[in-house]
Chain A
Amino acid sequence: MTQDSTTAAFRFGYGLPLPANAPTEPASMLAALRGSDSMATTYPGPQMADLTETLLRADASLRTSRRATGEAAKIARQDYRQAIARLEGVTLLAAKTTIARALDAPDGLRERLVQFWADHFTTVARARRDSPLPATMVEEAIRPHVTDRFADMLKAVVQHPAMLGYLDQSASFGPNSRIGQRRSKGLNENLAREVLELHTVGSGHTQEDVTQMAELLTGLTVGKKGPTFDPRRAEPGPESVLGTTYDGDDLTAVLKALDDLAEHPATAAHLARKLAVHFVSDQPNADLVQALTDAWRNSGGDLLAVTESLLTQPAAWSRQQAKARQPFDFTVSALRALGLDGADVMRMADDPFRQMILQPMAAMGQPWQRPPGPDGWPEAAEHWITPEAMAARITWAMDMPSRLVNPLPAPEALMTRALGANLGERLAWAVPKSENIREAVGLVLASPEFNRR
Chain B
Amino acid sequence: MDRRLFLKTLTGSACSLAAHPLMTTVTLAASDGSAPLGDHRLVVVILRGAMDGLDLLRPTGDPLFAGYRPTLSGPQDPDLTGYFSLNPTLEGLMPLWRAGQLGFVQATSTPYRDQRSHFDGQDILEAGTGLDVPDASVRDGWLNRMLQSVPGLRAQTAFAIGTQSAPVLQGPAPVSNWQPDLRLDLSAQSRLLLDHIYHDDALFREAATEAVSLTESIDLSRTDGMASPPAGGPLADTDRLTDFAAQRLRQDTRIAAFSLSGWDTHRNQQGGITPPLRRLERVVLRLAEQLGPQIWDKTLLLAMTEFGRTVAENGSKGTDHGTGGTMLMAGGALNGGRVLGQWPGLEEAALYERRDLMPTSDVRAWAAWAMRGMYGFDRHLLESSIFPGLTLGDDPGLLA
Contact = CB atoms under 8 A, between A and B. Distances in A.
A446 B186 CA distance: 12
A435 interface: yes
Contacts of A434: 189-190, 193
Nearest to B133: A188
Contacts of B186: 394, 398
A194 B182 contact: no
B137 A443 contact: no
A446 B194 contact: yes
Contacts of B165: 372
A194 B167 contact: no
A433 B207 contact: no
Nearest to A373: B139
A21 B208 CA distance: 37
Contacts of B137: 193, 197
A290 B232 CA distance: 59
Contact of B207 (A126, A389, A395): A389
A101 B196 CA distance: 35
Nearest to B215: A391
B171 to A, nearest CB: 10
Interface string A86-124: 000000000000000000000000000000000000000
Nearest to B161: A388
B190 A363 contact: no
Given A394-B184, A433-B193, A194 B136 contact: yes
A416 B215 CA distance: 31
Contacts of A439: 187, 189-190, 193
Interface string A345-363: 0000000000000000011
Interface residues of A, number: 46
Interface stretch (B82-90, B95-103, B197-205, B385-393): B197-205
A378 B147 CA distance: 20
A128 B120 CA distance: 15
A127 B119 CA distance: 8
A401 interface: no
A387 B136 contact: no
B281 interface: no
Given A194-B136, A448-B204, A387 B178 contact: yes
Given A188-B133, A381-B203, A391 B189 contact: no
Contacts of B185: 395, 398
A362 B136 CA distance: 24
A190 B133 CA distance: 10
A430 interface: yes
Given A391-B182, A439-B187, A426 B204 contact: no
B214 interface: yes
A261 B199 CA distance: 47
Contact of A448 (B176, B197, B215): B197
Q: Which of A385, A390, A447 has most chain B Cβ within 10 Å?
A: A390
B235 interface: no
The 9 closest A-B pairs by CB, nearest first: A387-B210, A387-B211, A391-B211, A448-B201, A430-B193, A390-B207, A391-B182, A435-B189, A448-B204
Given A372-B167, A388-B176, 18 more contacts: A194-B136, A324-B203, A382-B203, A385-B203, A385-B207, A386-B207, A387-B214, A388-B182, A388-B211, A391-B214, A392-B182, A424-B197, A426-B197, A427-B197, A430-B196, A443-B190, A443-B194, A446-B197
Interface of A: 69, 126-127, 167, 188-190, 193-194, 197, 324, 362-363, 365, 372-375, 381-382, 385-392, 394-395, 398, 424, 426-427, 429-430, 433-435, 439, 442-443, 446-448, 451
12 contacts: A69-B315, A385-B203, A385-B204, A387-B207, A388-B182, A391-B215, A395-B184, A395-B185, A398-B185, A424-B197, A426-B197, A443-B194
